[in-house]
Chain A
């Protein structure tokens, strides 16, 4: 018998989970480091803007708001905080959605946008921006996000129902998603063909993604959705991890892959839809956040899920910082920044990592 399968009288053999315990501690430390980086990024994001503050001033305003001037308090808490926190929440939501799409579809290219959820949302928003069409009665301020949300969920619902006719297989879901993307891209082109020049500009700007539309009420809605969905996904942690072993193995372990796929599809569609509805299209996070988390933490969902959330939040928060400092005085749409800066960083990580992550 070769050394790799020798009966474990070997002195180097791990005993009673020693190796596993060390692995768990290492991953907890990585999660802690990501959390600290996220806090730092949040403070820097808050400090930057037309008026720049020191980090000490930001920390004071956060924890002892009475010790800073009224103007600083208003700028930080009323203007910058919803935007900075929205970056964290949307980043976490999109990254979690991407992580679970990649998990249930066993596809490294899957993201909330693979299924046409973003394309559907963009179409809904474009209807409002170009023609003032409201899919459901809503306050004027909310027509665009509600249209986007409704179309995103209708897209997810259509994929859900159609895939059930073919046994909820990975191939069916991916192909339906691709079909949805093409359908909505064509419809978007049609809208842009008929819309005014001004409306087309508005549509294009919306599809670039921007955090500047964030407000406290929108933030609380996004936080609420994330707070409900995160525990639901965490509860299925072992089953979701088993999905990466393939349907046959997952079934043998007592998991129902089809039912779980449908359940997760609904949950991640909600996460993606609410994010896209409030900030527009930010496609990069849902693809790359999970890949970075996977490189750092593996695919045990107990670490991969929070890791994906933290990586997504961190990427978008850093993106928000960069969007303010690349061209002083101008806030570049966040979707452009995350792609321009994030993709080279992601390629660096993947190409320099000693093992393939997929």
Chain B
């Protein structure tokens, strides 16, 4: 099973230090980890650093991976005017670094990814015709089609309506369990983090201020300190922890 450990990870943009010595326990496949933090805390930078798109000191330790490219990354949604169908755009993500000839296995993987996310019926549509939410689901399919062992998702639910947010996070949790895949997702909805993620990392000003099981990490004290809100966490009628925000501090 794949594992990921961050050891004293730092990152710079020019002379500005964006991430400062991020060290985490080992995350194992089969889990979903939420990456939490206010705007400009360094969440996207951390993803880019893990992926190797940014240089810096420290080490990203991936062990137990069976593929050459175990990590896939879904950046925050960006529109595109490319004249490509949804199917082609997902196939394209699958084929990077491979030969120009598409094999039946590749088509099978594209079909599976679209079906996993419930967007198979969008396959023939042009990507430029999609709504923001649909584009976000296609972007998730582009990450999944790479058959990653570690999947990094940067605000995967930001453009989705509530129904699709719940649906996507449910699907991701199921896929993480079934495929022993480690998923790290940056989320702004702390309630979703409480409900769907096993562990949480909290960043503030480029520093890791908390890391552990989500229920241990997300506390009223942390919400007040990092997110400047007065909030309480109470079990709902089904026993799930529920976030109730009283007011901004």
What separation, in Å, do the CA atoms of A160 and B139 have in the docked complex?
Answer: 32
Q: Are B120 and A8 in contact (CB under 8 A)?
A: yes
Chain A residues with Cβ below 8 Å from B123 are 14, 19-20
Q: Are B96 and A238 in contact (CB under 8 A)?
A: yes
The answer to the question of B124 belonging to the interface, with a C-beta cut-off of 8 Å to chain A, is: yes
Mask, B64-91, CB within 8 Å of A = 1, is: 0000010011111011111111011101
Q: How many residues of A contact B (CB 8 A)?
A: 45
The answer to the question of B180 belonging to the interface, with a C-beta cut-off of 8 Å to chain A, is: no
The answer to the question of B60 belonging to the interface, with a C-beta cut-off of 8 Å to chain A, is: no
Q: Are A248 and B92 in contact (CB under 8 A)?
A: no
The answer to the question of A161 belonging to the interface, with a C-beta cut-off of 8 Å to chain B, is: no
Q: Are A244 and B91 in contact (CB under 8 A)?
A: no
The answer to the question of B249 belonging to the interface, with a C-beta cut-off of 8 Å to chain A, is: no
What separation, in Å, do the CA atoms of A357 and B129 have in the docked complex?
Answer: 12
Closest CB-CB distance, A247 to chain B, in whole Å? 9
Classify the interface of chain A: helix, strand, loop or mixed.
Answer: loop
Mask, B120-134, CB within 8 Å of A = 1, is: 111110101100001
Q: Are B75 and A248 in contact (CB under 8 A)?
A: yes
Chain A residues with Cβ below 8 Å from B124 are 14, 19
The answer to the question of A348 belonging to the interface, with a C-beta cut-off of 8 Å to chain B, is: no
What separation, in Å, do the CA atoms of A295 and B51 have in the docked complex?
Answer: 35
A5-B164, A238-B100 known; A245+B114 contact, CB < 8 A: no
A20-B107, A237-B100, A238-B98 known; A249+B78 contact, CB < 8 A: yes
Q: Are A20 and B121 in contact (CB under 8 A)?
A: no
Chain B residues with Cβ below 8 Å from A10 are 120-121
The answer to the question of A186 belonging to the interface, with a C-beta cut-off of 8 Å to chain B, is: no
Chain A residues with Cβ below 8 Å from B81 are 106, 244, 358
Q: Are B121 and A8 in contact (CB under 8 A)?
A: yes
The answer to the question of B110 belonging to the interface, with a C-beta cut-off of 8 Å to chain A, is: yes
Q: Are B92 and A23 in contact (CB under 8 A)?
A: no
A5-B134, A238-B96, A252-B51 known; A244+B80 contact, CB < 8 A: yes
Chain B residues with Cβ below 8 Å from A197 are none
The answer to the question of A16 belonging to the interface, with a C-beta cut-off of 8 Å to chain B, is: yes
The answer to the question of A71 belonging to the interface, with a C-beta cut-off of 8 Å to chain B, is: no
What separation, in Å, do the CA atoms of A241 and B80 have in the docked complex?
Answer: 12
Q: Are A254 and B69 in contact (CB under 8 A)?
A: yes
The answer to the question of B233 belonging to the interface, with a C-beta cut-off of 8 Å to chain A, is: no
Residue of B nearest to A13 (CB): B120
Chain B residues with Cβ below 8 Å from A6 are 118, 121
Closest CB-CB distance, A321 to chain B, in whole Å? 29
Q: Are B134 and A245 in contact (CB under 8 A)?
A: no
Q: Are B126 and A355 in contact (CB under 8 A)?
A: yes
The answer to the question of B238 belonging to the interface, with a C-beta cut-off of 8 Å to chain A, is: no
For the A-B complex, the count of residue pairs with Cβ-Cβ distances under 8 Å equals: 131
Q: Are A17 and B69 in contact (CB under 8 A)?
A: no
What separation, in Å, do the CA atoms of A252 and B69 have in the docked complex?
Answer: 12
Closest CB-CB distance, A226 to chain B, in whole Å? 19
Closest CB-CB distance, A269 to chain B, in whole Å? 24
Q: Are A3 and B83 in contact (CB under 8 A)?
A: no
Q: Are A245 and B82 in contact (CB under 8 A)?
A: yes
Closest CB-CB distance, B175 to chain A, in whole Å? 14
Which of A90-98, A110-118, A133-141, A297-305 is the interface stretch? A297-305
Q: Are B97 and A254 in contact (CB under 8 A)?
A: yes
What separation, in Å, do the CA atoms of A246 and B126 have in the docked complex?
Answer: 16
A249-B75, A249-B78, A253-B142 known; A17+B111 contact, CB < 8 A: yes
Interface hub of B74, B83, B89, B108 (most chain A Cβ within 10 A): B83
Closest CB-CB distance, A222 to chain B, in whole Å? 25
A13-B115, A294-B83 known; A4+B121 contact, CB < 8 A: yes
Mask, B154-189, CB within 8 Å of A = 1, is: 000000000110010000000000000000000000
Closest CB-CB distance, B46 to chain A, in whole Å? 14
Q: Are A12 and B84 in contact (CB under 8 A)?
A: no
For window 284-320 of A, CB contacts with B under 8 Å fall at 294-295, 298-300, 302
Chain B residues with Cβ below 8 Å from A237 are 100
Q: What are 26 residue pairs bridging A and B, where the CB atoms are less than 8 Å apart in the complex?
A: A1-B167, A3-B121, A5-B137, A8-B114, A8-B115, A8-B120, A8-B121, A10-B120, A14-B123, A16-B108, A20-B91, A20-B110, A21-B107, A23-B85, A23-B87, A238-B100, A239-B96, A244-B80, A245-B78, A245-B92, A246-B78, A251-B75, A252-B51, A254-B97, A355-B129, A356-B128
Residues of chain B whose beta carbon lies under 8 Å from any beta carbon of chain A: 51, 53, 69, 72-76, 78-85, 87-89, 91-93, 95-98, 100, 104, 107-108, 110-111, 114-115, 118-124, 126, 128-129, 134, 137, 139, 142-143, 163-164, 167
Knowing that A245-B78, A251-B75 touch, tell me 5 more A-B residue pairs with CB under 8 angstroms: A238-B95, A241-B84, A248-B76, A254-B97, A355-B129
